[in-house]
Structure 1
Amino acid sequence: MARAQGARAQMALAFETVYGTPPAGGFTKMPFASTTLGSEQPLLNSELLGYGRDPLAPIKDAVTADGNVVLPIDAATFGFWLKAAFGQPVTTGTGPWTHEFRSGGWTLPSLSIETGMPEVPRFAMYSGCVLDTLNWQMQRSGLLTATASLVAQGEAVASTSAAGALSELALKRFGHFNGAITRNGASLGNIVSAEITYANSLDRIETIRSDGRIDGADPSIAALTGKIEVRFADQVLVNQAIAGDPCALEFAYVLPSGESFTFTAHAVYLPRPRIEISGPQGVQASFDWQAARDTTLGRMCTATLINDIEEY
């Protein structure tokens, strides 16, 4: 008997025209490292008395469908996740194309995501997926991945795939070696590591339904936060934190073949850090930064992806 193995698992993604309704086709094969996307329905213990010490049968509670997807940051498929986070991009060029994803949009697209284990067989279609958070880390070495947190409406399990024929994009993956950080256009040195988290702060619409599912997930006030670990060598960031002035932080990756991904937080505010001397080694400072709306551009952040994909 065949047993499920993660090595044989697959994932397909497509944007929905109608929330909660998987499209008939147009699914794209997605690379991923792991996923916790799933649906669960807890049981409620009976509170009734008068039937002895043994409890009565439990009652089913509401259905919850959500989870995370750990995915590579690459030049092609990462655009689908950026579209889920920010909405439709502004695309320019004639090849290569420049896709500019801007924060602040009121409407987010929903997705249908199918995860499959062909050897069981089990194919789970998660409809009405809306991206809640997207985060990743920058460091000197290791594999570069991002984590997308999703809120779904429901799950439908079948023994055959409902995604149909899948299109597959060439994987051109960014690495930590391709990364760089700038502050107000100038290279920012002495950075040990950096974290970036964008959140749509979804509000689940939990109406009364016979199927126990939610009616939707609406974005509220967005948040862009992060953390940078700095080898303490100068007072530039500390002076900014004391003054309370914002700066623009740019996190960029560029491949030798020309593809690039640039994430710019236009108005970043730094807290005043505690500078500790914990031993004979180098002194490091940690800044838990947060971004806000830039009054000149009218938005908080911009994600720019340059590749050979014409549209998302």
Structure 2
Amino acid sequence: MARAQGARSLMAAAYETSYGTSPVGGYMQMPFASTSLGAEQPLLGSELLGYGRDPLAPIKDAVTADGDVVVPIDAEAFGFWLKAAFGDPVTTGTGPYTHVFTSGNWTLPSISIETAMPEVPRYAMYSGCVLDQLSWQMQRSGLLTATAKLIAQGEAIATSTAAGTPTGWALQRFGHFNGSIKRNGTALGNIVSADIQYANNLDRIETIRSDGRIDGADPSIAALTGKMDVRFADQVLMTQAMNGTPAELEFAYNLGTGEALTFTAHAVYLPRPRIEIQGPQGVQASFDWQAAYDATAGQMCTVTLVNDIATY
């Protein structure tokens, strides 16, 4: 008998026209490293007395559908997740194309995602998926991936696919080697690692329904936060932290073939960190930064993706 194996798993996704209604076509085959996307429905133990010491049967509680998807940061498919995080981009060019995503949009698209285990067979369709958080880490080596945290409306299980034959992406991954960090347009040295997290801070609309599902997930005040671990070699970041002034941080990846991804936080504020000498090795400082709205740029952050995809 065939058993489920992660190596055989598949994922397909498509944007929805109407929240919670899975489209009949237009699915893309999504590259992914792992996923915890799923639905759960806990049981509520009986509180009733008068029936002896043995409890009565439990009842079902509301359905919760959510989870994470770990995806590669690449030149094409990652734009799908950027649209989920920020909304529709402004696209220019005739090939290569430049897609510009900006924070602050009140309307976010919803997605239907199907995870498949063909050998069982088990095909789980998650409708009404809205992206809550997108995060990743920059470092010197290793595989470059991002984590997309999703809130879904519900799950439907079938023994055959509802995604048809998905269209694939031309996978061109960025690597840590392709990364760079700039502060106010100047390369920032001595960075050991950097964490970036963008959050839409979704508000679940938990109305009373016979199926136990939510009615939607609305974005509230967004947040862009992160952490930089720095070898303490100069006073640039410390001076900024003590003065309380913002600076622009740019996190970028570039391939030699022209594909590029640039994530710009326009007004980043730094806290004053504790500088500790813990031994004979180099001294490091950690800055837990926060970004805010920048009046000159007109938004908190801008993401620019350059590739050969005409539209998302």
Same fold (TM > 0.5):
yes
Separation in 2, partners of 1:78, 1:144: 12
* Correspondence list, 1:233-252, <5 A: 233-252=233-252
Separation in 2, partners of 1:251, 1:173: 16
Alignment correspondent of 1:182: 182
Q: Please list every run of at least 4 consecutive aligned residues from structure 1 whose deviation after the TM superposition is greater than 3 angstroms.
A: none
Alignment correspondent of 1:148: 148
Alignment correspondent of 2:302: 302
Q: Secondary structure at the match of 1:289?
A: strand
Structure 1 residue 16 displacement after superposition = 0.2
**Aligned amino acid, residue 271 of structure 1:** P
Separation in 2, partners of 1:9, 1:303: 30
* 1:254-307 Cα shifts (integer Å, max 9, x gaps): 011110000000000000010000000000000000000001121000111000
Separation in 2, partners of 1:98, 1:74: 15
Alignment correspondent of 1:261: 261
**Aligned amino acid, residue 297 of structure 2:** L
Q: Secondary structure at the match of 1:49?
A: coil
Q: Secondary structure at the match of 1:240?
A: helix
Alignment correspondent of 1:274: 274
* Correspondence list, 1:17-32, <5 A: 17-32=17-32
Separation in 2, partners of 1:117, 1:165: 15
Separation in 2, partners of 1:175, 1:257: 14
Percentage of identical aligned residues: 78
Alignment correspondent of 1:171: 171
Separation in 1, partners of 2:58, 2:169: 47
Matched, 1:105 2:105: yes
Q: Secondary structure at the match of 2:52?
A: coil
Separation in 1, partners of 2:133, 2:169: 24
* Correspondence list, 1:1-312, <5 A: 1-312=1-312
Separation in 1, partners of 2:307, 2:13: 19
Separation in 1, partners of 2:236, 2:206: 47
Q: Secondary structure at the match of 2:11?
A: strand
Structure 1 residue 177 displacement after superposition = 0.3
Separation in 2, partners of 1:86, 1:170: 23
* 1:21-62 Cα shifts (integer Å, max 9, x gaps): 000100000000000000000000000000000000001000
Separation in 2, partners of 1:13, 1:293: 32
Q: Secondary structure at the match of 2:213?
A: coil
* 1:61-96 Cα shifts (integer Å, max 9, x gaps): 000000000000000000000000000000000100
Separation in 2, partners of 1:108, 1:102: 12
TM-score in terms of structure 1 length: 1.00
**Aligned amino acid, residue 76 of structure 2:** A
Q: Secondary structure at the match of 1:258?
A: coil
Separation in 1, partners of 2:135, 2:232: 25
**Aligned amino acid, residue 247 of structure 2:** C
Structure 1 residue 165 displacement after superposition = 1.6
The count of aligned residue pairs is 312
Unaligned runs of 5+ in 2: none
Q: Secondary structure at the match of 1:279?
A: coil
Structure 1 residue 187 displacement after superposition = 0.2
Separation in 2, partners of 1:20, 1:61: 21
Q: Secondary structure at the match of 1:80?
A: helix
TM-score in terms of structure 2 length: 1.00
RMSD: 0.3
**Aligned amino acid, residue 293 of structure 2:** R
Structure 1 residue 169 displacement after superposition = 1.1
Separation in 1, partners of 2:295, 2:289: 18
